Amino acid sequence: MADCSLDLPGSSNPPSHLGLLRSWDHRRVPPCPALQGTPLSATLSLVMSQCCRKIKDTVQKLASDHKDIHSSVSRVGKAIDRNFDSEICGVVSDAVWDAREQQQQILQMAIVEHLYQQGMLSVAEELCQESTLNVDLDFKQPFLELNRILEALHEQDLGPALEWAVSHRQRLLELNSSLEFKLHRLHFIRLLAGGPAKQLEALSYARHFQPFARLHQREIQVMMGSLVYLRLGLEKSPYCHLLDSSHWAEICETFTRDACSLLGLSVESPLSVSFASGCVALPVLMNIKAVIEQRQCTGVWNHKDELPIEIELGMKCWYHSVFACPILRQQTSDSNPPIKLICGHVISRDALNKLINGGKLKCPYCPMEQNPADGKRIIF
């Protein structure tokens, strides 16, 4: 911004030359009436014209500099349009869940259950309120308790967790879980970290290890051995690994896993597994849809009861047995079950019927011949 100063003629100050940087106080009192009619001196006129030119140039430059940003901004937009798909086509028609109000309610319920399982209790409560859903208390109760214990564990308070482990001791043993032992161990290590002052307390606490002596003998020996270095300080001893903070993270995970098995839940909520599998499935399905449309063979995906392509989710997602007939490459069903031949090979019933030749059936994988009726239906 151009600022200029004005020298009044007749004053004792010498006339200034291009004093652009001196600020002009426009609230200054207007010049005294005596000067009003006086014409402007030539020098001042010159200075002022130069100021004017400077002002014009600067503001034009401002406008054009700002305009130059336009190309960068529009390039950002074009890059977004180029690199991301603006439309997701659904697996099924859009309205499959809208049409029934009930489906929306069920979806909100699924979200609430997910939030409870993730431990975001306040958010879940808020959603229940806003969507006027009622969640039974017996559904909520275990999560409230679990959350309380986990929060205590995060703050390195082992009390609630130990209580819980003791009360569920029988079932934990059935699961072959070593949760209780690990909790006792952590407590013992914490006492050790307190230094020589805690020695007696640590020793008396070690009695808690007695029931676990058979299963965890080696670990108990390690911990007892570390007592030797109590005076020196555990950090400098070969037992410093006991003080690792990763034990705390591990105990939270062990607790979550065991508690969920006890409750009959999976560690990850069903909603997050479904969502994660959707993230894998969505681009694959969109690709195949684009290919189908491009090649104009929309007839390929005409039966809307099955996806057109297999989605690889990894072995951990194999929850149910699926048998696909190796000959017809189709999933078996109740109307077309898998049949075991005498030789041990398994094919679907439709394939078996197709292979019957003159009342006899030859296995496609080995030279064994047999009667079609000898095939036995199997159930996975």
Do residues 89 and 289 make contact, with C-beta atoms less than 8 angstroms apart?
yes
Q: How far is the CB of 16 from other proteins (least distance, A)?
A: 15
CA 205 from centroid of its chain's CA atoms:
40
Return the number of the residue (126 or 235) whose C-beta is nearest other proteins. Answer: 126
Minimum CB separation of residue 156 from other proteins in Å reads 20
**What number of other Cβ atoms are within 10 A of residue 186's Cβ?**
20
Q: How far apart are CA 99 and CA 92, in angstroms?
A: 13
Residue in the structure block whose two tokens are 């007749």: 10
Measured from the CB atom, the residue of 210 and 245 that comes closer to other proteins is 245
Given candidates 285, 351, 352, 361, which one binds other proteins under the rule CB under 8 A?
285
DSSP assigned state of 331: B
Q: Smallest gap, in angstroms, from Cβ of residue 80 to other proteins?
A: 5
- Closer residue to other proteins (CB): 55 or 355: 55
Among 218, 231, 236, 377, contact with other proteins (rule: CB under 8 A): 377
Least Cβ distance, residue 1 to other proteins (angstroms): 5
345 near other proteins, rule: CB under 8 A: yes
Residues touching other proteins, count (CB under 8 A)? 122
The Cα-based distances of 4 to 48, 58, 108, 141, 264 in angstroms read 8, 14, 67, 76, 81
Q: Kindly state the smallest distance separating residue 2's Cβ from other proteins, in Å.
A: 8
CA distances from 52 to 2, 38, 48 (A): 8, 21, 6
- Near other proteins by CB under 8 A, which window of 149-157, 207-215, 227-235, 328-336? 328-336
Choose the binding region for other proteins from 157-165, 199-207, 224-232, 260-268 (rule: CB under 8 A): 260-268
d(CA 116, CA 118): 5
- Rounded (10°) angle between helices 101-118 and 121-131: 160
Q: Which stretch binds other proteins (CB under 8 A): 185-193, 212-220, 250-258, 261-269?
A: 261-269
Contact 327, 348 (CB under 8 A): yes
Rounded to a whole number of angstroms, the minimum distance from the CB of residue 344 to other proteins is: 5
Cα end-to-end distance, the chain, whole Å: 83
Site string for other proteins, 120-159 (x = CB under 8 A): x-xx--xx--xx----------------------------
Q: Cα(178)–Cα(209) distance, rounded to whole angstroms?
A: 12
DSSP 3-state of 324: strand
319 sits near other proteins (criterion: CB under 8 A)? yes
Q: Residue 185: which of 245, 262, 247 has the closest Cα?
A: 247
Instruction: Give Cα separations from 30 to 15, 33, 35, 125 (angstroms).
Output: 19, 8, 10, 68
Quote the CA–CA distance of 203 and 366 in Å, as a whole number: 69
Q: Report residue 339: phi and psi, to 5°.
A: -120, 135
Strand, coil or helix: 80: helix
Q: Find the shortest distance in angstroms from Cβ 134 to other proteins.
A: 14
Q: Could you say whether residue 353 binds other proteins (CB under 8 A)?
A: no
Nearer to other proteins, 228 or 313 (CB): 313
* CB contact at 8 A, 81 and 74: no
Closest separation between CB of residue 197 and other proteins, Å? 36
- Closest CB to other proteins among 46 and 232? 46
Smaller CB distance to other proteins: residue 285 or 352?
A: 285
Q: What CA–CA distance (Å, rounded) separates 14 from 24? A: 17
Binders of other proteins among residues 58 to 97 (CB under 8 A) are: 59-60, 62-63, 66-67, 69-70, 73-74, 76-77, 80, 83-88, 90-92, 94, 96-97
Contact stretch for other proteins (CB under 8 A) within 186-194, 198-206, 239-247, 343-351:
343-351
With binding defined as CB under 8 A, does residue 376 bind other proteins? yes
Range 192-251, binding other proteins (CB under 8 A): none
Of these, 21, 137, 322, 373, which contacts other proteins (CB under 8 A)? 322
Give the tokens for residue 330: 């189709």
* Sole window of 152-160, 188-196, 206-214, 265-273 interacting with other proteins (rule: CB under 8 A): 265-273
